[in-house]
Chain A
Amino acid sequence: MPTLTIDGRTLSVADGTTVLRAALEAGISIPHLCWHPAFVPEGSCRLCLVEVEGLPKLELACSTIVREGMIVKTATPAVRESRRRVLEFLLAEHPVDCPICDKAGECKLQDYYADYGLTEGVFAEAKERRAKKVVLGERLILDRERCVLCTRCVRFLKDVTGTRELGVFERGVHSEVGILEGKPVATAYAGNLVDLCPVGAITDTAFRHKTRTWFLSARPSVCPLCARGCSIWIDYHPGFPRRPASAGVYRIRPRTDEAVNGPWICDRGRYGYLDLHRRRLPAIFWNRGGQRVEMSREKILTLLGEKVGSLATRHQGKGLGLVLNSNLTVEEFGVVRQTLLPRIPQARVWFADPPHGEDDGFLLRSERTVNRRGASGLGFDLAPLSLEDVARGLTILVVLSPFFGQAAPAAGVEKALASVETKALVSPVETGFEGLFDFVIPSALPSEKGGTFVDFQSRSRTLSPVFPPWGDAWAEGDFLSALAAEISRTS
């Protein structure tokens, strides 16, 4: 455990720690472009050069291992000069694209220029002209003028995904990142390249030119699309005062979590969760003879509560089917268990979860919901809903699941539901089966209600609401409590 002094601060670090990591532990930031915690040091950007007492030249912080008694200085005139000079070289051939570049506001080059540069532009020659819209993959565009050849993208595809779609071609100043024709970046983790790129060289078509980063506020959350529950940032725009349509989720990014997902997320989560926001159910409605009649919460509670209450009083809930899904929160399962079910003890409880998928051997788990362990922790056996069960003597079916019907052919669903007297669907997004239900209630996404999940590692993951419920969305937990209260009132 060597001890070093860095900018006057003394600390002990683990054997083999580099100066840069030691600096991070001490809360000192050293500029870098090519270094990334997930890769071995590359040493090519040359921004992290620092003074090490006793050594004649400046040394790379990213790759120099701490030795006992090392004295490091990161803010001397020589170090400052070095950073200015390296930045100057980078900026000489870098296009001044900031006004049109997505990365503005979160660009390392911009930040470092502001922190360590601020020199007058002195490059008075003709800049290299390079291709500015090279398609690297389905959602990836490369601007070679902006590229600083940090090679993080190349190394990610070599060391993390092993898919190796990117390489560095040519030599010297003509060096360029690229793919072979017909072999684009196809990994299910391609979106991470956009986060990795320290500048705006690799951009995401899903985000390109949609907004400015400084309008976004990064809210912490958990991805609910598989049992890993990757920690994420949801970049949310609260909307301009006179343009409410500008409000919404613009981007999902990984939130580094060493125990869960490291610094990455898969594209399924990154783009899939973004998508869900756009298939929201508009309002509570009652399907009355083929006509959609909008209703208020009070009205629907009355209607539904009356029917459920009568079953509760007379038959203790026999004939009632409750379909849950394992993206409900622990708190919501608690409401079902402790508040609702005691009033309808004979009710049947099933789960409508998405079908299992493939475990990709990296982050994506085969369970495509995040809280199955939370449900089983509260005593639910997660029995999957079968259409036979539905067709057999159910009077009322209340479905709280956006995944309803995914496991069965549509014709079978219609037939089975036809035999149920009263049907209610509670879902945050369209399922495609809205027309078959009497009552349709839009509910909230996890990021709108907060709560706890228990992930595949049996860790409790708590999230706070990130943005207000969309439209009339009614958090399931609130709906279930209200329903339980209505049942009590009517019986």
Chain B
Amino acid sequence: MKDVFSADLRRRLEALAAKYPAKSAALLPALHLVQAEAGFIGPAEEEAVAGLLGVTPLEVREVVTFYTMFRRTPAGRYHLQVCRNVTCSLLGADQILDYLRKKLGLAVGETSADGRFTLTTVECLGECEQAPCLMVNFDHYGNLTENRVDEILRELA
């Protein structure tokens, strides 16, 4: 039966688990590694991670559905996460979000048909001195203006 994980990923997961006093403690970092390879954490991934870390698939799902960074369905290649907390809002985050919605033709939570972009809103990203900001996958962009957004989208193309 084909392993859900690549050999390399399995090796990395096992090495990760070995660093903890109990394997089960590696679950969150492990899920990040899995999501980086698979794009999401579905039932097959839940079972595979569970088996590796000595927890149940149910416990994996309990964790996946608690933390906002874990996805049960794949995101687009570029996951655009716009902060909507206080500082970003008072410096124009709503306008940036509106601009992105129109430009990409996406509602919040949607993925583009070509699979390139997913647009979501998030809470404070810890970049408030560069508000308004957004995170693309793990990369942070701040001091956003419509022009800057255009630039970013071009860079991502």
Give chain A's interface residues, CB within 8 Å of chain B.
164-171, 179-181, 183
Q: Is A167's CB under 8 angstroms from B66's CB?
A: no
Interface string of B38-58 (1 = CB under 8 A from A): 000001000000000000111
Q: Is A169's CB under 8 angstroms from B65's CB?
A: yes
Residue of A nearest to B62 (CB): A167
**B residues near A181, Cβ cutoff 8 Å:** 43
In whole angstroms, how far apart are the Cα atoms of A171 and B61 in the complex? 12
In whole angstroms, how far apart are the Cα atoms of A289 and B43 in the complex? 64
Q: Is A165's CB under 8 angstroms from B66's CB?
A: no
What's the minimum C-beta distance from A365 to chain B, rounded to whole angstroms? 29
In whole angstroms, how far apart are the Cα atoms of A165 and B56 in the complex? 10
Q: Is B58's CB under 8 angstroms from A164's CB?
A: yes
**B residues near A164, Cβ cutoff 8 Å:** 56, 58-59
Residue of A nearest to B57 (CB): A180
Residue of B nearest to A170 (CB): B65
A-B pairs with beta carbons under 8 Å apart, 5 shown: A167-B58, A167-B59, A168-B62, A171-B65, A183-B58
**B residues near A171, Cβ cutoff 8 Å:** 65-66
**A residues near B62, Cβ cutoff 8 Å:** 167-169
Q: Count A-B pairs with CB separation below 8 Å.
A: 26
**B residues near A170, Cβ cutoff 8 Å:** 65-66
In whole angstroms, how far apart are the Cα atoms of A167 and B50 in the complex? 15
Majority secondary structure, A binding face: loop
**A residues near B66, Cβ cutoff 8 Å:** 169-171
In whole angstroms, how far apart are the Cα atoms of A165 and B59 in the complex? 10
What's the minimum C-beta distance from A156 to chain B, rounded to whole angstroms? 15
**B residues near A179, Cβ cutoff 8 Å:** 58
Q: Is B61's CB under 8 angstroms from A180's CB?
A: yes
**A residues near B56, Cβ cutoff 8 Å:** 164
- Which of A167, A170, A171, A179 lies at the interface centre, i.e. has the most chain B CB atoms within 10 A of its CB? A167
Residue of A nearest to B47 (CB): A180
In whole angstroms, how far apart are the Cα atoms of A168 and B59 in the complex? 9
What's the minimum C-beta distance from B58 to chain A, rounded to whole angstroms? 5
Interface string of B115-152 (1 = CB under 8 A from A): 00000000000000000000000000000000000000
In whole angstroms, how far apart are the Cα atoms of A166 and B58 in the complex? 8
**A residues near B43, Cβ cutoff 8 Å:** 180-181
**A residues near B61, Cβ cutoff 8 Å:** 167, 169, 180
In whole angstroms, how far apart are the Cα atoms of A154 and B124 in the complex? 32
**B residues near A169, Cβ cutoff 8 Å:** 61-62, 65-66
Residue of B nearest to A176 (CB): B65
10 nearest CB pairs, A to B: A169-B65, A167-B62, A167-B58, A170-B65, A171-B66, A180-B58, A164-B56, A180-B57, A169-B62, A168-B62
**B residues near A180, Cβ cutoff 8 Å:** 43, 57-58, 61
What's the minimum C-beta distance from A146 to chain B, rounded to whole angstroms? 21
In whole angstroms, how far apart are the Cα atoms of A179 and B66 in the complex? 15
Residue of A nearest to B68 (CB): A171
**B residues near A166, Cβ cutoff 8 Å:** 58
In whole angstroms, how far apart are the Cα atoms of A168 and B66 in the complex? 9
In whole angstroms, how far apart are the Cα atoms of A21 and B153 in the complex? 62
Supply 7 further A-B pairs (C-beta < 8 A) apart from A167-B59, A180-B57: A164-B56, A164-B58, A167-B61, A169-B62, A169-B66, A171-B65, A171-B66
Residue of B nearest to A169 (CB): B65
**B residues near A168, Cβ cutoff 8 Å:** 62
**A residues near B59, Cβ cutoff 8 Å:** 164, 167
In whole angstroms, how far apart are the Cα atoms of A445 and B56 in the complex? 44
**Chain B, 56-84, CB within 8 A of any chain A CB:** 56-59, 61-62, 65-66
What's the minimum C-beta distance from B139 to chain A, rounded to whole angstroms? 25
In whole angstroms, how far apart are the Cα atoms of A180 and B60 in the complex? 11
What's the minimum C-beta distance from B70 to chain A, rounded to whole angstroms? 11
**Chain B, 70-116, CB within 8 A of any chain A CB:** none
Residue of B nearest to A172 (CB): B66
In whole angstroms, how far apart are the Cα atoms of A169 and B41 in the complex? 14
What's the minimum C-beta distance from B46 to chain A, rounded to whole angstroms? 8
In whole angstroms, how far apart are the Cα atoms of A167 and B62 in the complex? 6
What's the minimum C-beta distance from B131 to chain A, rounded to whole angstroms? 25
Residue of A nearest to B58 (CB): A167
In whole angstroms, how far apart are the Cα atoms of A169 and B65 in the complex? 6
Residue of A nearest to B59 (CB): A167
In whole angstroms, how far apart are the Cα atoms of A171 and B66 in the complex? 5
In whole angstroms, how far apart are the Cα atoms of A197 and B15 in the complex? 42
In whole angstroms, how far apart are the Cα atoms of A165 and B65 in the complex? 16
In whole angstroms, how far apart are the Cα atoms of A180 and B44 in the complex? 12
In whole angstroms, how far apart are the Cα atoms of A180 and B72 in the complex? 14
**A residues near B58, Cβ cutoff 8 Å:** 164-167, 179-180, 183
- Which of B57, B58, B62 lies at the interface centre, i.e. has the most chain A CB atoms within 10 A of its CB? B58
Interface string of B5-24 (1 = CB under 8 A from A): 00000000000000000000
